[in-house]
Amino acid sequence: MADIHLTTGFSTVPSGSQEPLKRVLIEVIEQVGQEEGSFKKAKVVFTESDERCVLTAELDGIRKEPNPLQVDLDVLEDALTDSGARSILKEEIRTYFRKVLGH
């Protein structure tokens, strides 16, 4: 199990909706970590501003991808209840993490 540290910043998402979004991000990152087995420690920053979301990551001290992952807020919100949206989010994060690690 990877050690995951998630830092978040929200500007337009209501406070009551922030915790479930954080939880789904952590769950997806944990799943990617278990499936890939390519990192033991993840420092992830997720920010939302005016419904525009970005995610950056440092995995085991590596950050080879200079561009953040653009996350669609609707997909993230849908991932709370829809397995299809969760799969989309998971594959986007998996692809981004591979770039971060230089794979």
Crossing angle of helices 83-100 and 15-36, rounded to 10°:
60
- Put simply, whether the predicted model's pTM sits higher than 0.85 gets the answer yes
List the CATH number of the domain containing 67: 3.30.160
The pLDDT tens digits for 38-87 are 899 999 999 999 878 999 999 999 988 889 999 999 999 999 999 999 99
CA atoms within 13 A on the CB side of 68: 13
Beta strands in the chain (DSSP E): 3-9, 41-49, 52-59, 69-72
Q: 8 and 46 in contact (C-beta within 8 Å)? A: yes
Q: Are the C-beta atoms of residues 4 and 44 closer than 8 Å to each other?
A: yes
Q: Which domain holds residue 80?
A: 3-100
Q: What's the total number of domains in the chain?
A: 1
**Which pLDDT value is given to residue 38?**
86
